[in-house]
Amino acid sequence: MNMPSLTAADLAQLGREIAARITDDSLLDVQDVASLLKVSARYVSENYAQLPNFPKAIRLANATGNLGQPRYRRGDVIAWINAHNSGRRPGRSGRPRQFPASPCFPVRRQSYSDAAG
């Protein structure tokens, strides 16, 4: 297996990049947010970023004055994740199971006429 050789300067740069991404004030790009949420960057852009309660993007101007790619404060994204995770019961996720009718307890399906009356 060929492992790329890293110099001390490469390791120092990598350490700075990691440290910059683990503070609450650090700005994350869409790829970083996607890795936190374990989804694709496209899913973050097209779904999560469109939600009204998702943290607002910060767009810094580049050298030509155009707005750059969206960035998100790490602390805001973590707070959003925690706010959505706090309402769930541990160990229970997904849709509730639908059990088939048993001979002892048959399921009576409600018809439209029963619902109206």
pLDDT tens series, the chain, 117 aa: 566 788 888 888 888 777 767 888 888 999 989 988 889 999 999 999 999 999 999 998 888 888 889 999 999 999 999 988 766 566 666 676 666 655 665 555 555 555 555
Q: What distance in Å separates the CA atoms of residue 32 and residue 18, rounded to the nearest whole number?
A: 11
Amino acid in position 63:
A
Quick check: pTM over 0.85?
A: no
- For residues 34 and 76, what is the distance between their CA atoms, to the nearest angstrom? 14
Structural contact between residues 91 and 40, judged by C-beta atoms closer than 8 angstroms: no
What's the CA dihedral at 89, 94, 95, 96 to 10 degrees?
-50
Tokens for 29?
């790009």
